[in-house]
């Protein structure tokens, strides 16, 4: 029997739909919302309106690219949370309508578990190996920075988390003060390639356990800019590459140091990464180099599966479908969903 899962992701500012057939990805369509770039961050009300406009064309395109009709879909998997409530509501309501019309079951997916399980999204004909359980996932996005111990597909434990800003927020907020627009991560990544990472020193947190903190770094970055601009109004434009390289280097050292500590504490040296910041080229390179040095086994997904996407939701939904775990029609989105 063919099992076709339609996945819907709408937790933040990307509207996405994907189709997975018997575990293999057939399509993954993402409509990103440009409207937020002028505001330096996601505006929740604008995000939910854009989701409403995008969701039907995005699903339509995902079905067409997959070569599947609505009638061939076995279940619809959707992101229930965590995320922005207004954005989650659009995806959840769409999933309910689709399931009701097609008389098919719904599967709820936790967005963070989706990111972790993006490691298991496979396209036919592309051979990639899956990590054995247990493994550690470094989940770094605009909303989350966590180290998760993954014992099985849905047996996960957060062993470290941020106590203030997320890693992606550190990129985005620092980019905003440099006038680089939103999202800041990809732009900083680009400028950093031409910069010297030793040019500036920014504060690093001293936290004993596996938790993260980025607010001190953000403040130290702001103070450097303030002091330097007082001496030279063109300081940012004249030093943009070095600023980006030094900032990125500091963020990545914080992440890698904590990950090394987690490996030491748990004795688990199989590592995966997920979340938008996992698209960062220096993070990917540093992780690989650290792994080679320390004998870790790392699994780095393709960039398109690290940022928000519905392939990971359809994938997680597929495993839940196999377990017969369905959501009821009265399910509501949960902006602070835990697992
Ligand atoms: O996972 P994601 O698409 O959405 C959330 O769930 O938050 O992550 C978005 C975050 C933003 O903060 C963005 O600046 C960051 O991922 N990001 C990057 C890169 N690409 C996206 N950060 C650093 N380097 C990148 N190349
Ligand atoms: Zn995400």
**174-192 per-position pLDDT tens digit:** 999 999 988 899 999 999 9
Between CA 302 and CA 126 the distance in angstroms is 12
Instruction: State in Å: Cα 232 to ligand 1 middle.
Output: 31
Q: Look at residue 121 in the predicted model and tell me its pLDDT.
A: 93
With a CB cutoff of 8 Å and minimum separation 6, the contacts of 272 are 116, 119, 131, 135, 136, 137, 138, 150, 298, 299, 300, 301
**Residue 207 reports pLDDT greater than 80:** yes
Q: Which ligand is nearest to the CA of 278?
A: 1
Q: Look at residue 37 in the predicted model and tell me its pLDDT.
A: 76
What would the pLDDT profile of 234-288 be if each residue is shown by its tens digit?
999 999 999 999 999 999 999 999 999 999 999 999 999 999 999 999 999 999 9
Ligand 1 nearest atom to the CA of residue 83, by list position: 6
Residue that wins the pLDDT comparison between 142 and 242:
242
Which secondary structure element, helix H or strand E, spans residue 53, and what is its range? helix 44-66
For the segment 124-144, the average pLDDT, to the nearest whole number, is 91
**Average pLDDT score over the chain:** 95
Between CA 55 and CA 70 the distance in angstroms is 15
**Residue 339 reports pLDDT greater than 90:** no
**Residue 76 reports pLDDT greater than 90:** yes
Q: How confident is the model at residue 221 (pLDDT cuts 50, 70, 90)?
A: very high
**Residue 127 reports pLDDT greater than 80:** no
Q: Look at residue 109 in the predicted model and tell me its pLDDT.
A: 98
**Residue 40 reports pLDDT greater than 80:** no
Residue that wins the pLDDT comparison between 193 and 44:
193
Between CA 157 and CA 272 the distance in angstroms is 14
Question: Is residue 9 within 6 Å of ligand 1 at its C-beta?
Answer: no
Tokens of 16: 């996405």
Q: Look at residue 54 in the predicted model and tell me its pLDDT.
A: 96
**Residue 32 reports pLDDT greater than 90:** no
Tokens of 124: 């036919």
Tokens of 251: 């963020």
Q: Which ligand is nearest to the CA of 306?
A: 1
Report H helices in 178-234.
184-192, 215-231
Residue of 137, 141, 245, 248 with the most ligand 1 atoms within 8 Å of its CB, for mutation: 141
């Amino acid at each position: 029997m063919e099992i076709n899962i339609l996945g819907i992701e709408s937790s933040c500012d990307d509207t996405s739909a994907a189709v997975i057939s018997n575990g293999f990805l057939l399509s993954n369509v993402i409509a990103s919302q440009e409207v937020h770039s002028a505001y330096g961050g996601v505006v929740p009300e604008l995000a939910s309106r854009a989701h409403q406009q995008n969701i039907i064309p995005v699903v339509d395109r995902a079905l067409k690219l997959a070569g599947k009709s609505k009638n061939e879909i076995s279940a619809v998997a959707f992101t229930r949370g965590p995320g922005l409530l207004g954005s989650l509501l659009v995806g959840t309501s769409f999933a309910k309508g689709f399931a009701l019309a097609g008389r098919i079951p719904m599967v709820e997916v936790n967005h963070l578990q989706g990111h972790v399980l993006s490691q298991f999204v496979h396209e036919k004909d592309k051979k990639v190996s899956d990590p054995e359980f247990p493994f550690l996932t470094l989940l770094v996005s605009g909303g989350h920075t966590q180290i998760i111990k993954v014992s099985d597909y849905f047996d996960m434990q957060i062993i470290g988390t941020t106590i203030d800003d997320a890693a992606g927020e550190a990129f985005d907020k620092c980019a905003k003060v440099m006038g680089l627009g939103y999202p800041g991560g990809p732009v900083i990544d680009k400028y950093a390639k031409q910069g010297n990472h030793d040019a500036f020193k920014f504060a690093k947190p001293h936290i004993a356990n596996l938790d993260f903190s980025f607010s001190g770094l953000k403040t130290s970055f702001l103070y450097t800019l303030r002091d330097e601009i007082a001496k030279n109004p063109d300081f940012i434009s004249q030093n943009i590459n070095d600023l980006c390289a030094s900032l990125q280097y500091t963020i990545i050292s914080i992440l890698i140091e904590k990950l090394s500590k987690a490996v030491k504490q748990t004795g688990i040296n199989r590592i995966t990464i997920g979340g938008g910041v996992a698209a960062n080229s220096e993070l990917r390179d540093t992780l690989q180099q650290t792994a080679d040095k320390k004998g870790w086994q790392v699994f780095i997904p393709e960039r398109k599966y690290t940022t928000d996407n519905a392939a990971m939701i359809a994938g997680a939904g597929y495993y839940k479908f196999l377990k017969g775990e369905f959501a009821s029609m009265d399910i509501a989105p949960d902006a602070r969903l835990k697992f």
